[in-house]
Each structure stands twice: as structure tokens, then as C-alpha cells.
Amino acid sequence: MKLILKMLIASLTILSAWTTASASVVINEVELNPPSGGLEWVEIYNGGEDSVDIGRWTVSIVEILPTSGRWTGAMPIPKGVTLQADGYYVWEGDPRWVHGNNGTVYLTTDEGIEIDRTPLLTDEEGNDFSWSRYPNGRNTGTRSDWAFIKSTRGAQNSLRVAPGP
């Protein structure tokens, strides 16, 4: 009985550590309508203190189209990908995707557990601006976490505009 109890406590400790680590992983930036010739992409950010194995997780863009119903573009993350603490992972969509310029982005584990989702985002611009959490990694669960700002793909989100030449 003591052995079973110890094993149960150990399992709960591991699960608790995994849940805490994965809770610090968020969808941090989304490009739904890139400049001509570009691909859609989603940036994932780990604001926690521990690395998180995100291998076999999935990033999905879901859009409800007025004429054809639900459209989903899924981007499975390859096995073995680890997101370092304070690190970024950028994953591109498929060049064959044809849909509107809006959607909700979901991040799910390989078991189908939802880690994060965005509100419905719309990008009609087709430029180098994207939807970004600001400040970087902010997650209050509200739309106010998001700003349509200059893309900072793979780097900290910033409101600063670089000085011209």
C-alpha cells in the first residue's frame, strides 16, 4: 500500500510540474495575412522558468467561412521539439491554404488538451504587422492582451518602431 501511495504521489508531482510548465506556454504572435508571397505563421512563447517538450503538439487556425462552413489549417509540431524558458518557436502554415484573413488560433497537446487559444483575429492588411501579445507573453484571457503591431517574428514583441535610414 505504501508503494502504491508513493507512486501516486510521484505521478501527481510530475503531472503538477508538467501542468505548471505547459501553463507558461502561449500563442504569442500570429500572422494571418502576410505580405505577398509570404506564409501564415504562428509564434509560440514559453514565459516560464522551465523548458517544455512541445513535440507533437498542434497549432491550428480555425475560421468560420460564410459559404463553406468551418475551415481548419493544422500545423503539427515535430516530435522532439523543446521550447526553452523565455524562448520562441515559429511554425509556418501550408502555402496551399486558401481561406479568408481571419481566424482563431488554438494550441493543443498531442492528447488534445487545449493549452491556449486566441480571440477571433482579423488581418485585412497584407503587410508586416501581426497580432501580438503585448507585453510579450501577457495572458489575462482577454482581448486586451493583443495588439496589431509590427511583426517581431521569433523575438520579443515591441511597440517601438525602428528609426528610418
CA angle, 124 then 92 then 37, to 5°: 55
Strand 146-150 with 121-122, pairing: unpaired
Residue in the block written with cell 488560433: 105
CATH number of the domain located at residue range(s) 2-150 in this protein: 2.60.40.1260
Q: Where are the domains of the chain?
A: 2-150
CA angle, 84 then 90 then 96, to 5°: 155
Residues with Cβ < 8 Å from 146, sequence gap 6 or more?
118, 119, 121, 131, 132, 133, 134
Q: Which residue has the higher pLDDT, 97 or 16?
A: 97
- Say what the pLDDT of residue 96 is: 86
Query: Considering the entire predicted model, what is its pTM?
Result: 0.82
User: Confidence band (pLDDT; 50, 70, 90) for 9?
Assistant: low
What length does the chain have? 165
